[in-house]
Structure 1
Amino acid sequence: MSATRYTLRRLAELLLVFLGVTLLIYLAVFALPGDPIAALGGDRPLPASVQAALRVRYHLDEPVLQQYLRYLGGLLHGDLGQNFAGQSVAAKMAVRWPTTIALALTAWGIEIVVGVGLGLYAGLRPGRLGDRVVLAGTILATSIPVFVLAVSAQLLFGLHLGWFPVAGDDAGWPMAYLLPGAVIAVFGLASVARLMRGSVAETMRSDHVRALWAKGLTPRQVVGIHVLRSSAIPVTTFLAIDLGYLLGGTVVVEGVFNLPGVGNLLFQAIRAHEGPTVVGVATSLILVFLVVNVLVDLLHSVLDPRIRHV
């Protein structure tokens, strides 16, 4: 299959997935039992006339599929809608994206440095104590729920030891982002370490590495150049895809550490029953992940010329 045809097919698949996922989110927010307009008043219900006017204003009096099609029409013009206070969802997200991007890149950097380092260390010592410790540590890290890990890290390193700020971003980067970034990075870091470990161990047993040893190359040349380059292909692919996960997976951590990012906006919108904000933020995060996924897939053949798309 030619590169152009494959690209068009992947873009068509992206569109179908995007429509399917956003439809499910829209139905989950607006079609499930519950009245978001009635919930706006809290303990003091809004007058019936006000509720009716708000439903007309936000087209909640229309069938849900018609609402969804109207929402898609707005997306084509870059409009993510308005919340029930009349504020633009896109404008609210614009001021929060820098925080989320800084947090995701911090976590990504920790994944690369620590994950690749641990994987390389374990892959060069298969079956030894260091290898077993790394494998056991990665299993333990992925078994702890992110909320538990975030709160525990906040209590230990923030409150008791005082090494990092407990909440907010007043301290700026990097201090305000290192602890929450490390919490997010733990799960991807474990996968990177295990993937790198397996790739290094396999590469070290390959014939071309044995030939390099036979030629008398130093360990620094063999490992630092040839083994790392061959082992980095699957790890690089995973890291590129994981960046999309990091950009969209900061909701809980931003909520715990009270960071003013897009994830925290979604967290607050869910608590406040702001359906338009929930749908708008979720749509943006899904789109970011899908675009990153497709770009990685298209660049896969560049990372490894042996790959041919069929």
Structure 2
Amino acid sequence: MTRYTLRRLALGVGQVLAVVTLVFLLVQALPGDAAVTLAGDDPDPARIAAIRQAMGLDQPPLERYADWLAGLARLDFGESLVSGRPVADFLATGLAPTILLAVLTLVLLVPLSIFVGVAAALREGSVLDRVLTSVSVGLHSIPEFALAVVLIAVFGVGLGWVPPTAVGGLTPAVLVLPLLVLLARPICSISRLVRAGMIDALASDYVRHARRLGVGTRRIRYAHALPNALAPAVQQVARTTDWLLGGVIVVEAVFVIPGLGTVLVDAVASRDLPVVQGLAVVFAVTTVVVNLLADLVAFRLAPRSSR
């Protein structure tokens, strides 16, 4: 376990460095000139040159990259080109709503997915199993923005049960529709994995042996079969976390939630490169850490014979 953990940590550090490098290269390749944007509608060449020098844009790319990496090592993401505020301030401003959405989604996602998957597996071939499978396939095929628009039109505008957007503030009622949008597709994919894993586990040799030994049905299902069925689902939860980073951006834009997604969209529109780079680093590190934890949990849950 220790050796596997060290290997995954080393791989994670390499992945973060690769993503950070790629982010820097992509941001530098963006069309246009940030100095020209900041100079105004009728820029003076001397003013543009002064802005470029102040922002360090007149330095060679390798030197800018080295300075940026050195800043990241000190947890210094730089300053906004537009407002002059530290990038960390933008991260702090948008972090709370995004974390709230992501954490609530994951907290609800795991037990609901397990419940749906186990319920379908224990009644394999029944009406309930077929209904859950059909609904899962249907919901999984609907894009997030389309589902969000439908929910807003029906429950926010038509019925008026919940606020359609977060313009009036981020209240518990406002979170209902965004959470439904973020939960719909992941529950479908994860519950299907739990169902398949549970069916395979209940048909395995060790479960049949436990039945012959007189082990109770409830203990067989939830103490023996379920842990082995969860290993692939845990990794799918990690992939869902990756998807959440993109899904939250869409949801925040549709429901006007002032999170990191909104900050990222505004930064890209204004070519605020340090803010874009800082957000990309946060997303990359989050993705690597979540996948690392998921791999360790899945490795722990996997039967020893399969390691």
Normalising by the smaller structure, the TM-score range is: 0.7 to 0.9
* 1:102-121 deviation per Cα after TM superposition (whole angstroms, max 9, x unaligned): 10011112322332222112
Q: Within 1, Cα distance between the matches of 2:204 and 2:5? A: 33
Task: Pick from 267, 270, 275 the counterpart of residue 269 of structure 1.
Answer: 267
Deviates more, 1:257-266 or 1:23-32: 23-32
1:162 aligns to 2:149 (yes or no): no
TM-aligned CA deviation for residue 249 of structure 1: 4.2
Q: Which residue of 2 aligns with 1:73?
A: 70
- In the alignment of these two chains, the number of paired residues is 306
Alignment-derived partner of residue 93 in structure 2: 95
Task: Identify if the C-alpha distance between structure 1 residues 140 and 105 changes in structure 2 by more than 3 Å, giving closer, same or farther.
Answer: same
Distance 2:165 2:34 in 1: 30
Residue identity over aligned pairs, in percent, reads: 35
Q: Partners in 2 of 1:167 and 1:41 — Cα distance?
A: 35
Aligned to 1:191: 189
**Separation in 1 of the partners of 2:173 and 2:220?**
37
The correspondence of residues 47-196 of structure 1 with structure 2, limited to 5 A, is 47-84=44-81, 85-168=83-166, 172=170, 174-196=172-194
The separation in 2 between residues aligned to 1:307 and 1:79, in whole angstroms, is 46
Q: Distance in 2 between matches of 1:176 and 1:59?
A: 42
Deviations 1:258-294 (A, max 9, x none): 1121122112212222222111111111111112222
**What code does the residue aligned with 1:255 have?**
A
- Counterpart Cα distance in 2 of 1:13 and 1:87: 34
Q: Which blocks of at least 5 consecutive residues in structure 1 are unaligned? A: none
Post-superposition, which runs of at least 4 consecutive aligned residues in structure 1 deviate over 6 A?
none
Contact 2:117 2:194 in 1 (8 A): yes
CA distance in 2, matches of 1:82, 1:255: 24
The answer to whether the Cα contact below 8 Å between 2:80 and 2:86 also exists between their aligned partners in 1 is: yes
- Secondary structure in structure 1 of the residue aligned to 2:166: coil
How far did residue 87 of structure 1 move?
1.0
Kindly report the root-mean-square deviation, in angstroms, between the aligned alpha carbons of the 2 structures.
Answer: 2.6
Structure 2 gap segments, 5+ residues each = none
Which residue does 1:306 correspond to in 2?
304
**Cα distance in 2 between the residues matched to 1:301 and 1:24:** 30
Separation in structure 2 between the aligned mates of residue 55 and residue 171 of structure 1, nearest angstrom? 38
One-letter code aligned to 1:68: Y
Post-superposition offset of 1:161: 2.0
Tell me the secondary structure at the aligned position of residue 26 of structure 1: helix
TM-score between the two structures when normalised by the length of structure 2: 0.88
Give the drift of 1:126: 2.3
TM-score with structure 1 setting the length: 0.87
Change in CA separation of 1:279 and 1:249 when aligned onto 2, cut-off 3 Å: farther
Is the CA contact (8 Å cut-off) linking 1:101 and 1:247 kept in structure 2? no
The one-letter code matched in structure 1 to 2:285 is L
1:244 shift after superposition: 5.0
Counterpart residue number, 2:226: 228
